[in-house]
Amino acid sequence: MHYLTPKDLAQRYQISERQVTHLARIGYLPGFKIGKLWRFKEEDLQEWEKRGRVQWDRDEINLRVDEIIREIDKNASV
């Protein structure tokens, strides 16, 4: 088995590491946590890609994730 990090997926999908972890946290990306660290099985990602789950508009995802992160940051500072 081959495990990937958020950094690996950020490079693979051309998004930020923070976006990778957020997408995993909301269940969009198949991944799991070991303590505080996210890991992704290559086999799970290949299956996810085969099902067409990776067909997104990268700019749209970036905007949506950035909006969610801003909202989280705003609520954390209140």
Q: Which domains, and CATH codes, for the chain?
A: 3-76 (1.10.1660)
Please give the pLDDT value at position 22: 92
pLDDT tens digits, 48-75: 888 876 555 566 666 667 777 777 777 7
Q: What is the mean pLDDT of residues 34-48?
A: 93
Nearest to 9 by CA among 44, 35, 59: 44
Asked if residue 19 has pLDDT above 60, the reply is: yes
Least confidently predicted of 30-34, 39-43, 46-50: 46-50
Helix (H, G, I), strand (E, B) or coil at 69: helix
